[in-house]
């Protein structure tokens, strides 16, 4: 198993090595590489056996993960090229009805998992805390905060109290900022003829 330098990567690789030895009777060697060497090594499929890959959702859509296996030169680094899967994603991403699109993406995900080209082992998590008066900051997959929407709310009556439903709570100030941003983008697109 090839992996790039990093304490958590080493721990994961050693855990897999120990579990496979204890439970499957398989002894696998580990190969540690610096990240700048590891990336092309993995992408060019120079590894034998397994190579560890880490990926985080960088936008709020299933395609952030499903796209890893799309097309010939993808970021999945498995060597898989599957025209059927590519068509499933093309069809889903051409669908205008969001509900139908998600259903189509779910079928594509099931198809890819059934191919077993990767073995999902871990899910990264981030723990974070915020004060109840910090507004406009919400949990998301990559812990990417849009700082331009974060603000301090001086009115204690508007502080967060129902944190279990923080994603469902309305925040008029953030919603107004988003509305203004979308309006500005629409005006710019109209002015440029797009």
Per-residue model confidence as pLDDT tens digits over 14-23: 999 999 999 9
Full-model pTM: 0.62
Query: Nearest CA to 78 among 108, 103, 104, 115?
Result: 115
Exposure letters 47-85 (e unless 16+ CB within 10 A, then b): beeebbbeeeeeeeebbebbebbbeeebebbbebeeeeb
| Residue ranges covered by each domain of the chain | 1-52, 60-117, 134-192
Segments in the chain below pLDDT 70: 124-125, 140-142, 163, 166-167, 169, 192-194
Per-residue model confidence as pLDDT tens digits over 145-165: 788 889 999 999 988 877 677
């Amino acid at each position: 198993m090839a992996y790039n330098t990093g304490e958590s990567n080493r721990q994961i690789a050693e855990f897999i090595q120990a579990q496979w030895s204890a439970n499957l009777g398989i002894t696998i060697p580990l190969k540690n590489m610096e990240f700048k060497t590891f990336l092309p090594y993995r992408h060019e499929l120079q590894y034998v056996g397994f190579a560890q890959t880490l990926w985080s959702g960088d936008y709020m859509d299933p395609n952030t993960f499903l796209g890893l296996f799309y097309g010939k030169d993808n970021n999945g680094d498995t060597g898989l090229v599957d025209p059927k899967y590519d068509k499933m994603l093309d069809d889903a991403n051409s669908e205008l009805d969001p509900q139908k699109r998600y259903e189509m993406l779910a079928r594509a995900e099931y198809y890819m998992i059934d191919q077993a080209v990767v073995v999902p082992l871990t899910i990264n998590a981030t723990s974070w805390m915020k004060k109840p008066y910090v507004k406009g900051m919400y949990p998301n997959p990559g812990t990417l905060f849009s700082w331009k929407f974060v603000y301090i709310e001086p009115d204690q009556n508007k502080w967060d109290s129902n944190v279990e439903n923080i994603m469902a709570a309305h925040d008029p100030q953030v919603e107004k900022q988003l509305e203004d941003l979308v309006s500005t983008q629409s005006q710019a697109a109209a002015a440029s003829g797009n």
